[in-house]
């Protein structure tokens, strides 16, 4: 019932993703959400995020920031990490994910999405056919509309974890 919201991977942090392994699998572009995925909401790029984008560039992986936030916020962060960006993206609109892939020169098989919200980030990526990573929010302080969505996300994540456990048990039996 909730499977259209399930990520391909659920991790503690965007910084724990093995991007070298993803590159070896054929990933050539990563689309990131910004707020609470890479830094706390509204914060500038920090050393960790700058190092991540530098590493991705060295690997040969293009990056794009896909945010529903205003241009000033996304452009500033983009300049700090050296990434392409789309602001006021209208996630989960498929159109913005397709535009991101066009800008990166990638397709569904060579693109990965990383975000902290199920109903915008992951759902949009899944609708587009892009592999998705859901990461835990960096900081609990969020705008009220996001706080309210987090309650619904908990329900979906409960079923996702049950689904993953059953799927893992089936593969372990084989």
Mean pLDDT of 8-36: 96
Q: What is the per-residue pLDDT across 71-124, written as a single tens digit (0 to 9) for each?
A: 999 999 999 999 999 999 999 999 999 999 999 999 999 999 999 998 999 999
For the cut 60, the answer to whether the pLDDT of residue 174 exceeds it is: no
Mean pLDDT of 53-64: 98
Check residues 141 and 129 and name the one with the higher pLDDT: 129
Pairwise CA distance, residues 155 & 61, whole Å: 34
Strands (E), the chain: 9-11, 29-32, 62-66, 84-86, 111-115, 131-135
CATH class of 3-173: alpha beta
Residue 147: the pLDDT is 66
Residue 167: the pLDDT is 76
Pairwise CA distance, residues 97 & 30, whole Å: 11
Mean pLDDT of 55-70: 97
Mean pLDDT of 38-52: 95
Domain range summary for the chain, segments of one domain joined by +:
3-173
For the cut 80, the answer to whether the pLDDT of residue 146 exceeds it is: no
For the cut 90, the answer to whether the pLDDT of residue 141 exceeds it is: no
CB atoms within 10 A of CB 99: 15
């Amino acid at each position: 019932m909730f499977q259209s919201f399930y990520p391909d991977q659920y991790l503690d942090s965007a910084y724990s993703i093995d991007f070298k392994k993803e590159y070896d699998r054929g990933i050539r572009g990563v689309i990131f959400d910004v707020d609470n995925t890479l830094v706390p909401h509204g914060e500038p790029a920090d050393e960790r995020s700058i190092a991540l984008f530098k590493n991705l560039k060295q690997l040969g992986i293009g990056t794009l920031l896909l945010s529903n936030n205003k241009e000033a916020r996304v452009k500033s962060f983009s300049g700090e990490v050296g990434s392409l960006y789309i602001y006021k993206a209208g996630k989960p609109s498929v159109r913005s994910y397709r535009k991101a892939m066009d800008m990166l020169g990638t397709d569904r098989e060579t693109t990965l999405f990383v975000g902290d919200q199920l109903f915008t980030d992951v759902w949009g990526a899944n609708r587009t056919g892009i592999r998705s990573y859901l990461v835990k929010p960096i900081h609990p302080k969020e705008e009220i509309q996001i706080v309210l969505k987090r309650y619904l996300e908990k329900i979906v994540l409960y079923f996702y974890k049950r689904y993953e456990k059953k799927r893992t048990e089936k593969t372990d039996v084989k």
